[in-house]
């Protein structure tokens, strides 16, 4: 009985992670569309695997913030607003912000790392911009999420 409970627990943990889809090292090596910019939002940590609010880009929900997954968007260069649809009445005890303003440059990729933080009622996901080399390294073994981005 105990073994069945352990197996069920492992299955629940893995169900909350992005375990299918192409890897970042395959997807993010392709060229960016002419006169476009690429935005990658990713989450490495499986901590708080049950907390998967949507990533929202310029007011549009594009994908859930699944652990070990990333969403990639081809966007117009310029200013964009990215946020996480965390539970509104929650308090973030871990620091950081669930919103980020980014300025995308033509032909370049910008990376935002999503990280789980301790919250008052449930966990929250925060965003921080990282360097291109850090983002490339972090996303190499993550899986691309199905999303509403091109």
pLDDT for 97: 81
Flag whether 149 is in a domain.
Answer: no
Domain that holds residue 46: 2-144
Q: Which residue has the higher pLDDT, 19 or 23?
A: 23
- The CATH number assigned to the domain holding 7 equals 2.60.40
Nearest by Cα to 40 from 80, 13, 95, 94: 80
| pLDDT above 70 coverage of the chain, percent | 79
pTM of this structure: 0.83
Structurally, the chain folds into a number of domains equal to 1
- Asked if pLDDT for residue 1 goes beyond 60, the answer is no
pLDDT tens digits, 69-128: 999 999 999 999 999 988 765 565 566 788 999 999 999 999 999 998 876 667 788 999
């Amino acid at each position: 009985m105990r073994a069945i409970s352990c197996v069920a627990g492992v299955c629940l943990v893995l169900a909350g992670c992005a375990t299918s889809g192409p890897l970042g090292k395959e997807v993010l090596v392709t060229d960016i569309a002419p006169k476009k910019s690429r935005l990658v939002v990713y989450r490495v940590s499986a901590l708080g695997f049950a907390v998967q609010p949507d990533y929202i880009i310029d007011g549009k929900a594009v994908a859930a913030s699944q652990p070990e997954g990333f969403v990639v968007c081809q966007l117009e260069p310029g200013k964009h607003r990215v946020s996480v649809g965390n539970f509104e009445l929650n308090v973030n005890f871990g620091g950081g912000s669930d919103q980020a303003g980014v300025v995308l440059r033509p032909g370049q990729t910008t990376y935002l790392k999503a990280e789980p933080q301790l919250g008052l009622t449930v966990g929250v996901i925060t965003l921080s911009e990282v360097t291109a080399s850090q983002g490339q390294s972090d996303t190499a073994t993550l899986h691309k999420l199905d999303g509403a981005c091109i």
